[in-house]
Amino acid sequence: MAKLMILTVLGLGLALFRDHRSSYRTRFNVDREVEPKQLPSCKFVEGIEVGSEDLEILPNGLAFISSGLKYPGIKTFDPDSNGKIFLMNMNDEDPKILELKITGSTFDLPSFNPHGISTYTDEDNTIYLLVVNHPHSKTTIEVFKFQEEEKALFHLKTIRHKLLPNVNDIVAVGPEHFYATNDHYFVNHYLRSWELYLGLAWSYVVYYSPDEVKVVAKGFDFANGINISPDGKYVYIAELLAHKIHVYEKHANWTLTPLKSLDFNTLVDNISVDPVTGDLWVGCHPNGKKVFHYDPENPPASEVLQIQNILTEEPKVTQIYAENGTMLQGSTVAAVYKGKLLIGTVFHKALYCEL
Ligand SMILES: *[C@@H]1O[C@H](CO)[C@@H](O)[C@H](O)[C@H]1NC(C)=O
Ligand SMILES: *[C@@H]1O[C@H](CO)[C@@H](O)[C@H](O)[C@H]1NC(C)=O
Ligand SMILES: *[C@@H]1O[C@H](CO)[C@@H](O)[C@H](O)[C@H]1NC(C)=O
C-alpha cells in the first residue's frame, strides 16, 4: 500500500512536472522558428551597444532612449557602467544620439539602472520624463524635467511605494501620476526563476498618484509593456508569457475594466502608440527562452508587429520586421515617426529603418 502511494505520488509529481514543462515550452515559445522579414533600409543607431530597452518619441520627433539595463538573469554587455538616457532627433537626416546630463543633487548616478520610461507634457509644454529605476535591485520611479536647451534631465523627485515592488514599465498620465506594471520577478539581485517556470499569475498593474495608490488589474503571467490610447480612454497591457495584449477601459476614477484581449504567437513586450493614427507598435520576442538563457551562438530573435483598429471587431495585425538575431537581438520596443521606425532591444543595439 505504502509502495503504491509512493508510486502514485511520484506519478503525480512527474505528471505535474511534465505539464509544467510543456507549459514552459508554450509560454516561452521555445519551438518557434523565425522567417526573416526585412525593411528596405535599416541601420544601427551609432553608440548604442548595451541595450535600448525602452524608448519614446515625442510628437516633435525627439526620442528618449533608456540604455544599460541590468535585470537579473538577463545578459548585459557592460556590467560595470551605470545606465543612461539618450536623446535622438528623428527629424535629422542621419540621427545621432546624445547622452542627457542628469542634474539635481538628490540623485545617485552610479546606481542608475533605467528600465521603462514615459513622458508627460503639461499645459505649459513642460516635459516630464518618468523613469523606472532599479538602484541596488530595488524599484523607484524617478521624475525628471526635460531641459531641451541644456540637454539635461533635472531630477525632481524619487517615488517609492510598497505597491511598486518590482516595476517593469509605466505610462505617465500626469507629472507624478502613472500606471505601472509590476512584473514580480525582479527582486534583490536574483530572478525568481522557479516562479517564472511555474508561471503563476503574480503580476499586477497599479495606479499611482500623490493622493491615491491602488491595484487596478491583476492576475497576469508577467505584465510587461503598458500604454494608453491617444484619447486617453483605453489602456493597453502586454502579458508577456501569455502572449496577449489586453485592452482596458479607463474610468474617470482611474479604475480599469477589461474590454478585450488579442492573442499572438510571440512574447509581447513593449507597446508604443502612434499619437497620429492610434496604431499599436509592439516589440516582441518570437522565441523568449533565448532572452532568458543567452547563447551568443544562438541569440534571441527580434520581431515588430503593428496593430491597427484594435478597438474594432477585426483588428489588423501586421508583421513589419523579423530577424533571427544575426543582426538584432531581443527586440523589446518599436516606435514610429513620419515613416521611420526605431527598434530597441533588451541588451543589444538599436535599429533605425525606413518604412
Ligand atoms: C520594454 O521591454 C523590456 C524587456 O522585457 C521590459 O523589461 C521593459 O519594461 C519594457 N518597457 C516598456 C516601456 O514596456
Ligand atoms: C469607478 O468608476 C466606474 C465607472 O464609472 C464604476 O463602475 C466603479 O464602481 C468606480 N469604482 C470606484 C472604486 O469608485
Ligand atoms: C539567421 O539568418 C541568416 C540569414 O538571414 C542565416 O545566415 C543564419 O544562418 C540564421 N541563423 C540561425 C541561427 O538560424
CA dihedral sign, ordered 266, 245, 187, 333: positive
Confidence of residue 19 (pLDDT cuts 50, 70, 90): low
Check 20, 115, 161, 285 and give the catalytic one. Answer: 115
Distance between CA atoms of 25 and 247, rounded to whole angstroms?
Answer: 26
Q: What is the pLDDT of residue 98?
A: 93
Expressed in angstroms and rounded, the spacing between residue 355 Cα and the centre of ligand 2 is 42
Cell reading at 2 = 505504502
Among the residue ranges 87-96, 119-128, 220-229, 301-310, the one predicted with the least confidence is 220-229
Nearest ligand to the C-alpha atom of residue 240: 1
Known catalytic residue: 115?
Answer: yes
Q: What is the pLDDT of residue 82?
A: 78
Expressed in angstroms and rounded, the spacing between residue 92 Cα and the centre of ligand 1 is 26
Ligand 3 pocket check for 38: Cβ under 6 Å: no
Expressed in angstroms and rounded, the spacing between residue 307 Cα and the centre of ligand 3 is 27
Cell reading at 181 = 506594471
What's the mean pLDDT in 45-59?
Answer: 76
Q: What is the pLDDT of residue 188?
A: 56
- For ligand 1, atom 7, which residue shows the shortest CA distance? 168
Ligand 1 pocket check for 344: Cβ under 6 Å: no
Ligand 1 pocket check for 330: Cβ under 6 Å: no
Confidence of residue 310 (pLDDT cuts 50, 70, 90): very high
- For ligand 1, atom 2, which residue shows the shortest CA distance? 332
pLDDT, tens digit (0-9, with 9 covering 90-100), for 187-221: 555 555 556 666 666 788 999 999 999 999 988 88
Confidence of residue 17 (pLDDT cuts 50, 70, 90): low
> What kind and span of H or E run contains 4?
helix 2-27
Is 26 or 156 the better-scoring residue by pLDDT? Answer: 156
Expressed in angstroms and rounded, the spacing between residue 265 Cα and the centre of ligand 3 is 20
Q: How far is CA 98 from CA 64, 81, 86, 89, 151, in A?
A: 10, 17, 5, 9, 8
Among the residue ranges 14-18, 30-34, 182-186, the one predicted with the least confidence is 14-18
Nearest ligand to the C-alpha atom of residue 64: 1
Expressed in angstroms and rounded, the spacing between residue 54 Cα and the centre of ligand 1 is 6
Ligand 3 pocket check for 174: Cβ under 6 Å: no
Cell reading at 12 = 503525480
Distance between CA atoms of 117 and 156, rounded to whole angstroms?
Answer: 15
What's the mean pLDDT in 22-30?
Answer: 77
Is 113 or 89 the better-scoring residue by pLDDT? Answer: 89
Q: Which domains does the chain have, with CATH numbers?
A: 32-354 (2.120.10.30)
Is 293 or 202 the better-scoring residue by pLDDT? Answer: 293
Specify the 3-state DSSP secondary structure of 27: helix
Ligand 1 pocket check for 227: Cβ under 6 Å: no
Ligand 3 pocket check for 326: Cβ under 6 Å: yes
* Burial of 162: CB neighbours in 10 Å, binned 0-12, 13-18, 19+: exposed
